[in-house]
């Protein structure tokens, strides 16, 4: 019985490690020339939920699992809640929803081209054209 428990624990540990290794680490990025050096997830959410015009947010497509993960981590909201927020802001003329890009490379390119750009991508896609200001756990 003791051997079986040891094998089960070992298998669970290996499986947990494998799933954690497969999970994408998301980062919030800004233009490399932007003076911002760090921000909290809550601060980042302000720009992606239309509460501050200081930055110009760029989103991944609604179909991207990274988008759902991002909003859950920074704002504890699912995509339907985010869509409702933006629908109200757009309808009342108080905001313009973030522009959607197809993938990490397009988000990075858009942020790199805009001094006030802000986006989120997988950490593995970061290069010198952008600056990481938040790492999402």
Identify the weakest region by mean pLDDT among 4-13, 18-27, 107-116.
4-13
Backbone angles phi, psi at 133, to 5 degrees: -115, -15
Write the Ramachandran bin of 70: left for phi over 0, alpha for psi from -120 to 50, otherwise beta.
alpha
50-69 per-residue burial string, b: 16 or more CB within 10 A, e: under 16: beeeebbbbbbeeebebbbb
Mean pLDDT for 22-47 is: 92
- Look at residue 16 in the predicted model and tell me its pLDDT: 40
Identify the weakest region by mean pLDDT among 16-25, 104-113, 119-128.
16-25
Strands of the sheet containing 26-31, edge to edge, are: 99-100, 56-59, 117-122, 26-31, 130-135
pLDDT mean across residues, the chain: 87
pLDDT score of 22 more than 70? no
pTM of the model: 0.82
């Amino acid at each position: 019985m003791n051997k079986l428990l040891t094998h089960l624990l070992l298998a669970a540990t290996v499986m947990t490690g494998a799933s954690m290794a497969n999970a994408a680490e998301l980062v919030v990025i800004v233009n490399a020339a932007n003076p911002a050096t760090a921000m909290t997830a809550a601060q980042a959410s302000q720009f992606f939920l239309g509460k501050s015009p200081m930055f110009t947010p760029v989103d991944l497509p609604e179909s991207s699992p990274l988008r759902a993960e991002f909003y859950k981590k920074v704002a504890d909201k699912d995509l339907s809640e985010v869509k409702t927020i933006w629908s109200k802001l757009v309808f009342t003329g108080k905001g313009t929803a973030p522009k959607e890009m197809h993938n990490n490379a397009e988000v990075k390119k858009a942020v790199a081209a805009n001094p006030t750009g802000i986006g989120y991508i997988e950490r593995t896609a970061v290069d010198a054209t952008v600056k990481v200001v938040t790492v999402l756990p």
